[in-house]
Structure 1
Amino acid sequence: MLQACLNGSRAAEEHPALPLSPERLAEDAADVAALGVTSVHIHPRDVIGAPTLAGPEIATTIATVRAAVPGIEISISTNVPGNRATLIASWAPLAAGRPDIASVHVAEPGWRELAQALHRVNVGVELVVEVPEELGELPAGTTRITVTATQDNAETLLRQVEPLGLPVLLHGRDGDAWPVFTYAATLEHQVRMGLEDTLRMPDGRRARNNAELIAMARRNQRSRAPS
């Protein structure tokens, strides 16, 4: 699987092509889906551009993106301030405005309760591992482990999560984004790329947009596919 991480928690001034509104996220999602992406990961924003989990904003964002890319998995981040479990509970009646899966950082206090809140509203759980953690029994509804790694610790983190038997998405950020992507593609793990992870192409120049990053990622991925 190749996932596109379209915006993250980056501020608008970091890149002129950063998609923040539902409409812009939908446009970028359509562009990367045309390049073979089967999942998009987004950080929905409120009207002033702050990350949010509030039901109305989630419903609008997800429904807008889903209309542009029907059939594509839509993943969102839960890494925002506030009473996240209560906000997630408000998603229960959203239907088409509910994400397919949401990420939960296992290093955060209360991550198990957050995963339970997602499961109760029928949203899949994507556990994010950034440092060695003893996960124990995985929460109900866990469908994927996302490993956020550096070049130095990727192998260590994979040794921890691979025995759990779930699909693993391995990615890096900023200077580690492309080296970790290449490593993950070589191992045939799920991968992701986009403006959340890096603003730059492998040669160091600034990427024009998410589509340019994904096009390069697809070429990289195909070059490492077994013959």
Structure 2
Amino acid sequence: MQVCLNGARGAGDGAAVPLSPRALGESAAEAVAAGARDVHVHPKSPCGKDSLAPGAVAATLAAVRSAVAALSLREAVPVGVTTGAWAEPDPAARVARIREWTVLPDHASVNWHEPGAEEVARALLDRGVGVEAGIWSGTDGAARFAASPLGPRVLRVLAEVTEHDAGAAEAAAVGLLAEIGGAWGRPVLLHGEEGGAWPVLALAARRGLASRVGLEDTLVLPDGRRARSNAELVSAALALPAAGP
């Protein structure tokens, strides 16, 4: 189970959403203690916007890794970051930022429908950073990924269902998985967002697929109550019925 700590959310989304490096570290440690075994985080600028700047990335990674390491787990917990186009719209500037990073994440997500995805993924691979290929429903990401020579080299595929309606999300997830097909033989992590988050999480559990949960994807628990933390969301997700024998 991956925990997605904050996403593009900001202060207006509530005090539970961690934004500063210190808050992100504390939230990551709580989520890992609750059972998460991978971390996805959006480093922030001082004004709270997603940032790929070397300083923001380095400070966030250091805080998260330090806090998680204090748990003294037997295995290291990988920490990844976003490379979403909203953080740096120009693809060339995105690649330049990655080449400037002084501290490297274990992996980074690349949304395959975004302009410059291939170049961004190649820059990450050149630096030894694992690539999570983000394939969103309702985009041409699956077709572009199927034709990509980088497909066999990615760490995994992030199948993201963007439908927010709970009733439509599960059907969209089934359709997205069919679009992705063999995914170059790479592992698939399936997740949804907002109103679709919990139906898609339940489907992933039934199918035995990896998934993720956190305040990036949803602010509420399965019963509709506002989540108090990423750890609370992780605990609820891990309690979902898994695939049968």
TM-score under structure 2 normalisation?
Answer: 0.86
Say if 2:124 and 2:130, in contact at 8 Å, map to a contact too. yes
- TM-superposed deviation, 1:165: 1.1
Structure-1 separation of matches of 2:5 and 2:26: 11
In the other structure, the counterpart of 1:117 is: 123
Question: Could you say what secondary structure the match of 1:148 adopts?
Answer: strand
In the other structure, the counterpart of 1:206 is: 226
In the other structure, the counterpart of 1:170 is: 190
Give runs of aligned pairs for residues 78-227 of structure 1, distance below 5 A: 78-79=83-84, 80-81=87-88, 82=90, 83-91=93-101, 94=102, 97-130=103-136, 131-132=139-140, 133-134=142-143, 135=145, 136-139=147-150, 141-149=153-161, 150-163=169-182, 164-220=184-240, 223-226=241-244
- TM-superposed deviation, 1:137: 3.0
- TM-superposed deviation, 1:30: 0.5
User: Once superposed, which parts of structure 1, at least 4 consecutive aligned residues long, lie more than 3 Å away?
Assistant: none
In the other structure, the counterpart of 1:35 is: 34
In the other structure, the counterpart of 2:72 is: none
Q: Number of residues paired by the alignment?
A: 220
- TM-superposed deviation, 1:36: 1.5
- TM-superposed deviation, 1:118: 0.7
The amino acid across from 1:224 in the alignment is A
In the other structure, the counterpart of 1:49 is: 48
In the other structure, the counterpart of 1:69 is: 68
Say if 1:162 and 1:168, in contact at 8 Å, map to a contact too. no
Say if 1:73 and 1:100, in contact at 8 Å, map to a contact too. yes
User: Mean alpha-carbon deviation: is it higher for 42-51 or for 173-182?
Assistant: 42-51
Structure-1 separation of matches of 2:203 and 2:38: 20
- TM-superposed deviation, 1:138: 4.1
Structure-2 separation of matches of 1:179 and 1:195: 16
Structure-1 separation of matches of 2:67 and 2:179: 37
- Structure 1 residue ranges without an equivalent (≥5): none
Structure-1 separation of matches of 2:106 and 2:78: 6
Say if 1:181 and 1:191, in contact at 8 Å, map to a contact too. yes
Question: Could you say what secondary structure the match of 2:234 adopts?
Answer: helix
Say if 2:206 and 2:244, in contact at 8 Å, map to a contact too. no
Say if 2:159 and 2:177, in contact at 8 Å, map to a contact too. yes
User: Mean alpha-carbon deviation: is it higher for 67-76 or for 173-182?
Assistant: 67-76
The amino acid across from 2:179 in the alignment is Q
Structure-2 separation of matches of 1:169 and 1:34: 21
- TM-superposed deviation, 1:69: 1.4
TM-score under structure 1 normalisation?
Answer: 0.92
Say if 2:61 and 2:79, in contact at 8 Å, map to a contact too. yes
User: Mean alpha-carbon deviation: is it higher for 203-212 or for 175-184?
Assistant: 203-212
Structure-1 separation of matches of 2:181 and 2:206: 15
1:33-70 Cα shifts (integer Å, max 9, x gaps): 11111101110001121111111111111011111113
User: Mean alpha-carbon deviation: is it higher for 137-146 or for 165-174?
Assistant: 137-146
